[in-house]
Amino acid sequence: MLSSQMSPSRRRFLHSATLAGLASPFLRFTSPPPKLLKPPRLRPGQTVGLVCPATAAFLQEEVEIAKESIEALGLKVREGKSLRSRYGYLAGTDEERAADLHAMFADPEVHAVFVMHGGWGCSRLLPLLDYDLIRRHPKILMGYSDVTALLLGIQARTGLVTFHGPVGASTWNAFSVDYLRRLLFDGEAVIYQNPTDKGDNLTQVENRIRTLRPGKVRGRLLGGNLTVLTAIVGSPYLPDWKDAILFVEDVGEKIYRIDRMLTQLALADILPRLKGFVFGHCSDCPPGEGYASFTLEEVLDDHIVPLQIPAFSGSMIGHIKDKFTVPLGVEAEIDAATGSIRLLEGAVS
- State how far the alpha carbon of 63 is from the alpha carbons of 57, 91, 115, 116, in Å: 7, 13, 11, 7
Q: Which of 145, 170, 176, 315 is catalytic?
A: 145
Asked if 137 is an active-site residue, the reply is no
Q: What is the dihedral sign for C-alpha 311, 313, 318, 324? A: negative
Reference 341, options 217, 224, 176; nearest CA is 217
CA-based end-to-end distance of the chain: 53
Q: Which of 117, 281, 303, 319 is catalytic?
A: 319
Active site residue 319: yes
Sign of CA dihedral 112, 117, 121, 122: positive
Which of these, 148, 142, 310, lies nearest to 226 by C-alpha position? 148
Closest CA to 311 of 271, 284, 347, 258: 271
Residue 289 annotated in active site = no
Cα dihedral across residues 256, 214, 307, 280: positive or negative: positive
Helix or strand or coil: residue 316?
A: coil
Alpha-carbon span 67 to 119, nearest angstrom? 19
Of 346, 348, 345, 329, nearest to 111 (Cα)? 348
CA–CA separation, 155 and 329 (whole Å): 7
Is 147 exposed, middle or buried, given 0-12, 13-18 or 19+ CB atoms closer than 10 A?
buried
Helices (H), the chain: 2-5, 8-30, 60-72, 94-106, 131-136, 148-158, 174-180, 226-231, 255-267, 296-304
Q: Which amino acid is at 173?
A: N
Active-site option among 69, 117, 235, 249: 249
Residues annotated as part of the active site: 145, 249, 319
